[in-house]
Amino acid sequence: MKPENKPLYAAVHAAEFPAQTLQRLRPELQPDAIAVLDGRAPVETICSLNRRARQKGAALGMTRLEAESIPGLRLFPRSAENEDAARMALLECAAHFSPRLEDKSQGTACVCMLDITGTERLFGPPETLAERLRAALVAAGFRTSVAVSSNFHAARLKAAATRGITVIPANQEADALAKLPVELLGLAPEQTEIFVMWGVLTLGELAALPQVELVTRLGAQAAELRELARGALPHTFQPIEREFTLKEVCEFETPVDQSDSLLFVGARMIDCLVARAGARALSLASLQVQMKLEGEHAYRRVIRPAIPTTDRKFLLKLLQLEIAAHPPQAAVLSLTLSAEAGQSIKVQLGLFAPQTPDPSRLDITIARLKAIAGEDRVGSPVLEDTHRPGSFRMEHFSVANMQSSAAESNAPAQTRMALRRLRPPVPVRVELRDGKPVVFRDNERRFKVDAAYGPWKSSGCWWCDDGWNTEEWDVLAETSDGSSVACVLVRNVDVQSAATTPAYEHSIWQLEAFYD
């Protein structure tokens, strides 16, 4: 076998993963002594803890009662969802160095094996790769140990037993593993007992035992243990099919009712999501905010920027405005941010292209405008396909998909009279002469009609509840203060009643708009 074809594996071992997961998204916990409790209340026990917690006297297996008696120790419940999201982030980070990954996590440790065969040209010698890998993991918020070896199991065992970076030279696996304790092999209790009775405490001592006699006494499995101890057990690599999901979860120790606290955690989560998407040259097309609230309530909002972006501050601002516009109705137990990746948009701007708002900034402006005026009162008007007067709907305003009408002008040659609508229309009392209005008045003013043109009848949707049947008059009138106005008077006829009785008996006069 050529040297470059010889397999090479890197093992990443993140010990005390539940505790690390908590500290990753909440850097303010770094200086604290924290312990993670697992199990059913009230018999929970500590399953993971950090170094400061050990210094304070905490240990694995302690009950909640014992742990609570230690001053300064902060206790958190274990969250499988949180750990899954963190494990996904760790694998994502490791995938930058090799596409072939195998997840060998066990217990509270997260172990990721990388097949780094043939990566020397990309990352240099194994020492350099290991350093870069560990630095990348530290940047992602994980404290790990890394071991590199040509034997899969040797790398795994060495990473689990030592801190920092270890590179085992080829054919020296047995020496590198010699001083490690036999407990690393994950022995059954009876096997451990036998080895203790024999005085075999290290892998070196186990490897030195004769194979035939060992198998005779412990069975066929002993041969595998001996090969493991010698660093010579072969392994068929089983790469995982990684699913690329951008998701970050944070569960709080106590319910959070202040949006600032949520945003503090949310900022770190957005940072992680952006970094993970950016590593694949992707942007965040949408951000889904989910919260678990007190009282089994759920909160879910989706933030869709106008264009996919990796701007952390911009996304955080959108999150802040979204939470301010739609605050959760109860205290928050956990926050989940999941993102949808999208391609970054590359636009070639022209020197002579008209000035348009920056899409990202416009998103924030529109969100602020919605907070001021109302959710459905900011946008671009779109006319409905109906003859109903004044019918329109509001759509989200965006410059990203705007089709410029510069090429095809639809502006009329003459200036048109525009209407100023009164919303809602003002009811007026009308005096008629020969069927035409001569005087009408609202609650404030009296209008003397100079000329009335009409009626222009319009009706529709008579087959359903929201039908209309109107008579429209264009009226030139003089107000009580002497000014002239041109306005639109509308007589609404009740569609249902008009079928049985004369229309004027069920009509309502309204001042609908002014020509201005």
Tell me, what amino acid is at 382? V
The token duo for 467 is: 């039908």
Quote the least distance from Cβ 105 to another protein, whole Å. 48
**Residues 145, 148, 151, 157, Cα dihedral to 10°:** -20
Quote the least distance from Cβ 445 to another protein, whole Å. 10
Establish if 325 lies at the interface with another protein (CB under 8 A): no
| Cα(231)–Cα(108) distance, integer angstroms | 24
Establish if 516 lies at the interface with another protein (CB under 8 A): yes
Quote the least distance from Cβ 392 to another protein, whole Å. 5
* Stretch of 61-69, 111-119, 148-156, 363-371 lying at the interface with another protein (CB under 8 A): 363-371
Establish if 418 lies at the interface with another protein (CB under 8 A): yes
Residue 211 is inside which H or E element, if any? helix 211-218
| Cα(17)–Cα(13) distance, integer angstroms | 9
CA distances, 267 to each of 233, 251, 252, 272, 340 (Å): 45, 15, 15, 9, 17
Of the candidates 361, 429, 433, 457, which one interacts with another protein according to CB under 8 A? Answer: 361
Establish if 347 lies at the interface with another protein (CB under 8 A): no
- Greatest Cα pair distance in the chain: 123
Quote the least distance from Cβ 374 to another protein, whole Å. 5
List residues bridging with 49 in a β-sheet.
Answer: 35
* Stretch of 82-90, 156-164, 316-324, 394-402 lying at the interface with another protein (CB under 8 A): 394-402
In the complex with another protein, the residue whose CB is nearer, 118 or 390, is: 390
Of the candidates 121, 197, 416, 464, which one interacts with another protein according to CB under 8 A? Answer: 416
The token duo for 19 is: 């505790």
| Cα(33)–Cα(72) distance, integer angstroms | 7
Of the candidates 29, 194, 432, 486, which one interacts with another protein according to CB under 8 A? Answer: 486
Quote the least distance from Cβ 141 to another protein, whole Å. 35
Of the candidates 71, 210, 354, 435, which one interacts with another protein according to CB under 8 A? Answer: 354
Establish if 55 lies at the interface with another protein (CB under 8 A): no
Quote the least distance from Cβ 476 to another protein, whole Å. 5
Binding footprint of another protein, residue count (CB under 8 A): 62
Of the candidates 71, 210, 424, 435, which one interacts with another protein according to CB under 8 A? Answer: 424
Of the candidates 208, 218, 331, 476, which one interacts with another protein according to CB under 8 A? Answer: 476
| Cα(200)–Cα(190) distance, integer angstroms | 14
| Cα(18)–Cα(38) distance, integer angstroms | 10
SS3 96: coil
| Cα(465)–Cα(494) distance, integer angstroms | 11
In the complex with another protein, the residue whose CB is nearer, 76 or 473, is: 473
CA 478 to chain centre: 60
φ, ψ for residue 13 (rounded to 5)? -120, 115
Of the candidates 60, 382, 400, 508, which one interacts with another protein according to CB under 8 A? Answer: 382
In which order are the strands placed within the sheet that holds 73-77?
45-49, 33-38, 73-77
The set of residues, in sequence order, having a beta carbon less than 8 Å from that of 311 and lying 6+ positions away, is: 360
* Stretch of 1-9, 114-122, 311-319, 411-419 lying at the interface with another protein (CB under 8 A): 411-419
* Stretch of 7-15, 184-192, 221-229, 390-398 lying at the interface with another protein (CB under 8 A): 390-398
In the complex with another protein, the residue whose CB is nearer, 324 or 399, is: 399
Show the binding pattern over residues 436-475: x = contacts another protein (CB under 8 A), - = does not. ---------------x-x--------------------x-
Assess contact for 354 and 260: CB atoms under 8 A.
no
Burial code (b: 16+ CB inside 10 Å, e: under 16) for 71-93 equals eebbbbebbeebbebbbbbbbbb
Pairing mode of beta strands 332-342, 283-293: antiparallel
Of the candidates 414, 435, 463, 500, which one interacts with another protein according to CB under 8 A? Answer: 414
* Stretch of 284-292, 307-315, 393-401, 461-469 lying at the interface with another protein (CB under 8 A): 393-401
Of the candidates 164, 390, 427, 502, which one interacts with another protein according to CB under 8 A? Answer: 390
| Cα(91)–Cα(113) distance, integer angstroms | 9
* Stretch of 147-155, 288-296, 323-331, 369-377 lying at the interface with another protein (CB under 8 A): 369-377
Quote the least distance from Cβ 145 to another protein, whole Å. 50
The set of residues, in sequence order, having a beta carbon less than 8 Å from that of 70 and lying 6+ positions away, is: 33, 56, 57, 58
| Cα(461)–Cα(455) distance, integer angstroms | 20
Establish if 311 lies at the interface with another protein (CB under 8 A): no
Quote the least distance from Cβ 372 to another protein, whole Å. 5
Residues at the site binding another protein, with contacts judged by CB under 8 A: 353-358, 361-362, 365-366, 368-369, 372-374, 377-383, 389-390, 392, 394, 397, 399, 402-406, 409-424, 451, 453, 474, 476, 483-487, 513-516
